[in-house]
Amino acid sequence: MENVKYTSRRLAEIFGITQREVAEILGRRDKFGTADLGKLRKAVRKPVPAYPHRRQLFLNFKGGTGKTSLSTSYAYRLAERGYRVLVIDLDSQGHATRCLGEAGGNFTKTLYDVLVRKATVTEVTIDTKLPGLRLIPSNLAMSTMDLALMPMAGREFKLRNALREVEADYDFVVMDAPPSFGLLNLNALMAAHDLVTPVLADFLSYDGLRLLFETIQGLEEDLSHQLENIFICVNGFNQTFRIAREAVDALREHYPEYLLKSVVRQCTKFAQASSEGCPVFGYDPDSKGAADIEAMQLEVLERIKIGLAARPDAARSVR
Ligand SMILES: Nc1ncnc2c1ncn2[C@@H]1O[C@H](COP(=O)(O)OP(=O)(O)OP(=O)(O)O)[C@@H](O)[C@H]1O
Ligand SMILES: [Mg+2]
């Protein structure tokens, strides 16, 4: 994310001010960096709508549906808006860590140290280049997590309990899950208020959803955990393929209450952005990928707001 550059037009857009005001605060320049965003925030002091602390998990047991691309971009955009955001990379592939430009970074600890070796969350959290966006990075050391958790007492609740320590420090915790079914993902589900499930518009993804919903039902019955919101987000959509349109129709029919209206279209910028070590908003905020995640995020935030208004005690249900 070192190479992320902002134009004064984009900064003005983010803060809802004029380009002249940007220039008055930061000076007149062609390009600005992520640190300038922090400076501008301090000067402008525009409050964002408040949400009670929320933990949001991007999970699908199926691989390659866009969990990492969407979660890192979503988290980045939340931080741009002014929220305090913690990303947790749960995947030993470390893709979210790479997407946030920290793969070569000098971190030695991961979530493994918290859940297995009793390190604190704060000890393993690192800053990213974007002010307000912090990260618990991941690497191959995470790959034996399920084995290590297996003999432990309260093994499904380790992550939820560990995150209590930082509840007051973040508005949003965004978790990027690996495409596997195991104790770590069970921990993540138990810690989450909201589940965001990216699916591709094909019928294989559609089948994968059934397993996910069976698991969620199991959580409710066996571990008394109720997710507050489930959002299914169609990713990689290509309107010109009939099969894609049919898959979305099937999703709409079977999961009407969960399916988000906004879809994320196919966009090559996701791959280019992650190879540059930055989310799509940093790489090309004018791309359709960025526009679609913006719309998806606004829809998610709106639905959370409606849910909270209807259930004022809901924010306290996951403790
Ligand atoms: N909307 C999109 N349009 C085009 N390519 C996309 C889109 N979303 C994701 N991709 C690409 O698809 C691939 C898989 O995406 P990503 O890594 O985000 O999926 P994932 O669900 O996290 O995968 P895994 O299950 O391995 O963790 C990547 O190469 C990514 O760049
Ligand atoms: Mg991934």
Nearest C-alpha neighbor of 95 from the set 58, 49, 52, 43: 58
Distance from C-alpha of 48 to C-alpha of 122, rounded to nearest angstrom: 25
Q: How many angstroms separate the alpha carbon of residue 143 from the centre of ligand 2? A: 14
Nearby residues for ligand 2 (ion, Cβ within 5 Å): 67-68, 95
Instruction: Tell me the longest C-alpha to C-alpha distance in the chain.
Output: 60
pTM above 0.85, yes or no: yes
Q: Which atom of ligand 1 lies closest to the CA of 176?
A: 22
User: First vs last Cα of the chain: how many Å apart?
Assistant: 33
Computed from CA positions of residues 202, 227, 171, 148, in that sequence, does the dihedral angle turn out positive or negative?
Answer: negative
What's the pLDDT at 75? 98
Q: How many angstroms separate the alpha carbon of residue 89 from the centre of ligand 2? A: 9
175 beta partners: 57, 88
What's the pLDDT at 318? 55
Q: How many angstroms separate the alpha carbon of residue 179 from the centre of ligand 2? A: 7
Q: Which ligand is nearest to the CA of 296?
A: 1
Query: Whose Cα sits closest to atom 16 in ligand 1?
Result: 66
What's the pLDDT at 143? 95
Distance from C-alpha of 173 to C-alpha of 133, rounded to nearest angstrom: 10
Proportion of the chain in helix, strand, coil states, percent, rounded to 5:
50, 15, 40
Report whether 238 contacts 265 (CB < 8 A). Answer: yes
Strands 54-58 and 194-200, sheet pairing = parallel
What's the pLDDT at 105? 74
Q: Which residue has the tokens 């952005």?
A: 273
- Would the CB of 208 count as within 6 Å of ligand 1? no
Mutational pocket test of ligand 1: of 61, 95, 270, the residue with most ligand atoms within 8 Å of the beta carbon: 270
What's the pLDDT at 314? 55
Residue 49 DSSP class: P
What's the pLDDT at 3? 87
What's the pLDDT at 212? 92
- Would the CB of 68 count as within 6 Å of ligand 1? yes
Type of residue at 50: A
Residue 64 DSSP class: T
Burial of 174 (0-12, 13-18, 19+ CB in 10 A): buried
Mutational pocket test of ligand 1: of 65, 68, 232, 276, the residue with most ligand atoms within 8 Å of the beta carbon: 68
Q: Which atom of ligand 1 lies closest to the CA of 236?
A: 1
- Would the CB of 63 count as within 6 Å of ligand 1? yes
Q: Where are the domains of the chain?
A: 1-46, 50-316
Distance from C-alpha of 254 to C-alpha of 1, rounded to nearest angstrom: 39
Q: Chunk the chain into consecutive blocks of 10 residues (it has 319) and report each block's average pLDDT, rounded to whole numbers.
A: 93 96 95 96 92 96 95 98 97 96 88 97 97 97 96 96 97 97 95 97 82 91 92 96 92 95 97 93 96 98 92 59
Looking at the structure, give the CATH architecture of the domain made up of residues 50-316: 3-Layer(aba) Sandwich (3.40)
Nearest C-alpha neighbor of 282 from the set 8, 72, 48: 72
Q: Which ligand is nearest to the CA of 244?
A: 1
